[in-house]
Amino acid sequence: MLLKKKISELEQALDQAQTYTEWEQVGSELDALNGMDLWKIDNASPDYNYELIRDQLQTLRGYMNEKRIEPLMRLLRVGLNHDLGNMGNSNLYGRAHVGTKKLIEDYVDQVCTCLEYICNAQIDGITFGDKLDFFKDTRRSFGQPALMLSGGATLGLFHIGVTKALHEQGLLPKVISGSSAGAIMAAMVGSHTDAELEAMYDGDDWYSDAWRFNGFLNGITGKGFAQQKQLETFLRRNIGEYTFEEAFERTGRHVNIAVSPVHQHQKPRLMNELTSPYLLMWSTVLASSAVPILFPPVTLTAKDSDGHYSPYMPLQKWVDGSMKSDLPRQRLMRMYNVNYFIAVQVNPHIVPFMVSDQKRRATNLISWPRRALHEEIKFHAAGTFDFLRSQVSNEMGHQLLDHAYNIVAQRYYGNVTIKPRYTLEHYQHMLRNPNKERWNWFRLQGERATWPKIAIIRAHSRISQTMTECIDKLKLQRQRRQEGKAPALKVVRK
């Protein structure tokens, strides 16, 4: 009885935690009381190939202890896999509150230790160029994660908490995409350096006046129910006057914003530092926020080398990219070699119907009828909306049908999906200006929803993040060498 009371008290404390450190401490106590510590140290499980991972771990440790660097690099080059032995199975991360099997954590730690050693030591017979090639090639084959942020109006402040939680753990992906409200948050994170992010998360400099509404007549005549100029001011104050290229050079983050052309014969575009380096990010976010009825379509704005602004494709108008591609997986995979997606879904018409990652991947007989019925309804609804939009020539009608088709046809989940737990209070804030109080409220909810996902994200992302850090470090060393400032490194014979 006392044990049940203690567990109940800890569960309440877990729900009310204010920081990850506090949440982790309470979660660890719960794991100890529930017997999960014993589960963690028991390697055996039908959910993953523990023998394969154990063998790889022992081999890596052996090469490191004997300083056999060449075979170590060969093993890492050909043996790394972001889901080795199915170690990313969600069943391994839904039992304990904190962490997973210790074998998996030890393997990830050892790989990162090996990578950092290769990066930092000067190895006899391996040139500086060999190192860079090794890390670039290995990262290319290993892949990297991406963070995808959905739309959701003011509810998109939830994204701030998610990015804060990931950033504090060193797990914030370099590739970030977003549409509508998600585009706002992606652009804000992508235009602030690591040193500036902490102040941004506090929200002290947050300009909150995003929403001002027009009269009913403006709404029904196509001018939009909300004032677009006010939203533009909001975006320019919070994002700045950076192009995609300038933001990338400043932060090293690849910001991707989905926009859709109004013209029926043009396909949606994913704007970033590669496809549209000279586009102003605030301009693209403004287009991505142009939801039918609420805001009218916009003309994008570019900036030249002299800092002068000019229309981008002046004959083309652009709208919310989530109408046709809310979470643009395929293009991110092709452009950035992304193979692991962290999806954050806050759309108020989607979240209530979503299920957990564990339930979604269930393979038992009980889950089959539900999944079959869901897919059947989805298939026929998508086909109906696709047919209707092919028959409509009216611009506004076509946009609305695009939006309806996208709602039923797109994939809302990632390899890991983070979502809020909505109440009626959330819906009351949807179109309200996000003041500091709401900022803090949504941010904390985003953090709390992310903390339980840290273990599975770390298992998939930490190795890739370490390789990226090594590449950045080696590039900086090369630059300093060229300037005659490189520090001497310890020589290790392979």
Asked whether residue 125 is assigned to any structural domain, the reply reads yes
Name every residue whose Cβ is closer than 8 Å to that of residue 435 and which is 6 or more positions away in sequence: 208
Instruction: Say what the pLDDT of residue 264 is.
Output: 67
By CB atoms closer than 10 A (0-12, 13-18, 19+), residue 164 is buried
Together in a domain, 224 and 290: yes
Which two three-digit tokens encode residue 16? Answer: 């009310």
Together in a domain, 330 and 460: no
Distance CA 162, CA 338 (A): 19
Which two three-digit tokens encode residue 211? Answer: 């929403």
Q: In one letter, which amino acid is 186?
A: A
What's the CATH code of the domain at 210? 3.40.1090
Together in a domain, 345 and 367: no
Asked whether residue 209 is assigned to any structural domain, the reply reads yes
Instruction: Say what the pLDDT of residue 372 is.
Output: 57
Among positive and negative, which fits the CA dihedral 428, 434, 437, 440? positive
Which two three-digit tokens encode residue 368? Answer: 């089959």
Instruction: Say what the pLDDT of residue 354 is.
Output: 56
The values of phi and psi at residue 347, to 5°, are: -55, 125
Residue ranges in the chain modelled with pLDDT below 50: 215-224, 326, 360, 379-380, 385, 490-494
Together in a domain, 260 and 361: no
- Locus of tokens 């739309």: 151
**Do the Cβ atoms of 349 and 407 come closer than 8 Å?**
yes
CA dihedral in degrees (110, 115, 121, 127; nearest 10)?
A: 150
Asked whether residue 449 is assigned to any structural domain, the reply reads no
Model pTM score:
0.84
**Do the Cβ atoms of 128 and 478 come closer than 8 Å?**
yes
Instruction: Say what the pLDDT of residue 172 is.
Output: 96
Instruction: Say what the pLDDT of residue 289 is.
Output: 86
Together in a domain, 120 and 189: no
Asked whether residue 467 is assigned to any structural domain, the reply reads yes
User: How many domains does the chain divide into?
Assistant: 3
Among positive and negative, which fits the CA dihedral 170, 171, 177, 181? negative
**Do the Cβ atoms of 166 and 443 come closer than 8 Å?**
no
**Do the Cβ atoms of 269 and 261 come closer than 8 Å?**
yes
- Domain housing 379: 357-411
The values of phi and psi at residue 157, to 5°, are: -60, -20
Q: What is the pLDDT of residues 286-300, one digit of tens each?
A: 999 887 767 788 999
Neighbours of 83 (CB within 10 A): 15
